[in-house]
Structure 1
C-alpha cells in the first residue's frame, strides 16, 4: 500500500510570487500619493485664503471699521488686523514654504472698509512648485477669483 502525502501550506515560490505582487501594488500606491498630496496642499491653501478674505470683509462690515490684509513674501505668511495697528492682529497664518505670493498690481497691504469694499483692485500671483495661479480682486464688494495659468 502506498501512503498519500498531505500537501498543506505553500511552497517557497508561491510565497515569493504573492509577496512580489504585494510589493508592486504597494509601490504603485506610494508613487501615486505624492501628486494627490501636492494637489491637497494648494487646494487647502486657497480654501483657507478665501475664508480669511471673507472673514476680514465680514468683520469690516459688522464692526464698521477698516480691516487690513497684509502678506509677506519672505515670511511665507499673511495676517488680518483691525484699524491698521499691529497690535490688533485678528488672524496670522503661515503657509507652506513651497508656496510664494507675488504682487502684480496689488500692494502687500490692502484693506476692506466699513461697507466691505476693497481699497485697491489688482492681482496677486501665487506659485506652487510648477503651477501658477492668478488671484484677481475687483473693486466693488471685494469679490475675487482664482485662475490657473
Structure 2
C-alpha cells in the first residue's frame, strides 16, 4: 500500500484570486446595466399611472354624473373630482410635456373629454399618451 503524505488537495492562492477577480468583473458588468433598466421601468410606470388616472377621472365623471378634470402643472398633476383633489408629483428625473393637450383635461357627465391631444412622459425612455376627442379613449405608445 502506497500512501503519499505530501499530496495536498485544494486550490492555490493564485487560483482563488483569479476566480474572485473574474467573478467581481462579471458582477460589475451586471450591476452597471441595472440603473438604466430601472430608469426605463420608472418612466413606464409613470406613463401607466397617468393613463390610469385619466381613465379613473373619466369613469368617475360617468358614474357620479359630474364634471371631473386633470390639471397639469410643472412638477405635478392634480385630479379634481368634486371636492376631492388628488396630487400626483412627477418622479425625480421625469418630465411631462403637453404636446397638443392644454394644461387641463376635463370630462363631462357622459365621459367625453373637452379636448384631445398628446402628452409626452420623458425620462431615459419616452412615452406618448394620446387622449382621443369624442370617445375619450387613451393610448400609450413608447417612442
TMscore range, shorter length: 0.7 to 0.9
- Candidates 106, 112, 118, aligned match of 1:123: 118
Q: Secondary structure of 1:115's partner?
A: coil
Q: Could you tell me how far apart the structure 2 residues matched to 1:136 and 1:50 are?
A: 9
Q: Could you tell me how far apart the structure 1 residues matched to 2:33 and 2:134 are?
A: 43
Number of aligned positions between the proteins: 142
Residue of structure 1 equivalent to 2:81: 82
Q: Secondary structure of 2:72's partner?
A: strand
Taking structure 1 as the reference length, the TM-score comes to: 0.84
CA distance 1:125–1:2, change in 2 (3 Å): closer
Q: Could you tell me how far apart the structure 1 residues matched to 2:49 and 2:129 are?
A: 14
Shift of 1:22: 1.1
Shift of 1:2: 8.7
Residue of structure 1 equivalent to 2:135: 141
Q: Output one character per residue of 1:100-136: Cα deviation in whole Å (capped at 9) or x when no partner.
A: 122222111111111111111122233224x443322
Q: Which has the higher contact order (CA 8 A, sep 6+)?
A: 2
CA distance 1:37–1:2, change in 2 (3 Å): closer
Residue of structure 1 equivalent to 2:51: 50
Query: Which stretch of the first structure deviates more once superposed, 113-122 or 97-106?
Result: 97-106
Shift of 1:9: 3.2
Q: Could you tell me how far apart the structure 2 residues matched to 1:133 and 1:148 are?
A: 4
Query: Which stretch of the first structure deviates more once superposed, 118-127 or 56-65?
Result: 118-127
Shift of 1:71: 1.4
Gaps (5+ residues) in structure 1? none
Which structure 2 residues correspond to residues 1-149 of structure 1 after superposition, within 5 A? 4-73=5-74, 75=75, 77-83=76-82, 87-89=83-85, 91-129=86-124, 131-149=125-143
Q: Secondary structure of 1:111's partner?
A: strand
Taking structure 2 as the reference length, the TM-score comes to: 0.87
